[in-house]
Amino acid sequence: MSEPATNPAATSFPAPTLSLPLGLEVLRTYSGVLVCLEIVFGGLVWILVASSNVPVPLLQGWVMFVSVTTFFLSAAYLTLLVTGLADRINTDWNFLDAVYHFTALLFYFAAFVLEVATTAANGGAHINPLPNSTEAVLCITYPRGNIFTVLSGTQYNINVAATIFAFLVTLCYGCSMVMGIKRWRM
């Protein structure tokens, strides 16, 4: 008697490779906590830049794109892990995790630098009310660099907070990338 033929689809694809636990247990790992922090801090960057009315769209457009895109991608990744759907998709999740966090790190570092440039370029400008009048005058001193922005006090403070959170998100993506590379190389 001959042996029964095996299903070629079952032998041609490797089993999914995933070092992280699935379900709510992923939230007890450092990687799970970092992804949660990426989502929270990235959402704060998104909210803060949007609430400053994007005074410098040429620079802050990239910050908005990166914060919104990585927010949704990280949320989708965490959802796949928490629901256990990652186990049903045959791929090397450790490799995808490392590549995603490396790409997100590069994009967020660029966004962080642009947000710093937007905030730092506000030097030398302030709005003073005219005495005995309801109007105000814009006072500009010598600009410190090639980029010069005029932000109100509220916009400046919001952009400082967005810069701090963009740095924290960049740091979280860097730590996630290092852990992802270690998992991938094991």
Residue 108 in any domain: the answer is yes
Q: Tally the domains of the chain.
A: 1
Position 69 in a domain: yes
Is residue 162 a contact partner of residue 63, using CB atoms and an 8 Å limit?
yes
Statement: residue 43 has pLDDT above 80: yes
Q: What number of residues does the chain have?
A: 186
Inter-residue contact 172 to 164 (CB < 8 Å): no
The answer to whether residue 3 is domain-embedded is: no
Residue 147: predicted pLDDT = 59
In a domain, 142, yes or no: no
Task: Report if residue 92 sits inside a domain.
Answer: yes
Whether residue 28 is contained in a domain is answered as yes
What is the residue range of 86's domain?
Answer: 24-123+150-185
Is 19 part of any domain? no
Q: What is the pLDDT of residues 92-115, one digit of tens each?
A: 888 999 999 999 999 999 999 999
Q: Is the pLDDT of residue 129 over 80?
A: no
Per-residue model confidence (pLDDT) at position 159: 87
pLDDT of residue 106: 97
* Confidence label for 3 from pLDDT (cuts 50, 70 and 90): low
Checking if the pLDDT of 19 tops 80, the result is no
Distance CA 169, CA 155 (A): 21
At residue 65, what is the residue type?
Answer: F
Res. 36 pLDDT band, cuts 50 70 90: very high
If you ran DSSP here, which 8-state letter would residue 109 be given?
H
DSSP secondary structure string for all residues of 19-77: -SPPGGGGGGSHHHHHHHHHHHHHHHHHHHHHHTT-S-HHHHHHHHHHHHHHHHHHHHH
In a domain, 130, yes or no: no
Buried b (16+ CB within 10 A) or exposed e, 111-132: bbbbbbbbbebbeebbeeeeee
Residue 142 has a pLDDT of 53
C-alpha to C-alpha distance for 140 and 127, rounded to whole angstroms: 9
Q: Using 50, 70 and 90 to split pLDDT, how confident is the model at 139? A: low
Q: SS3 for 124-152, per residue?
A: CEEEEECCCCCCEEEEECCCCCCCCCCCC
Helices 93-120 and 57-83: crossing angle in degrees, nearest 10, is: 150
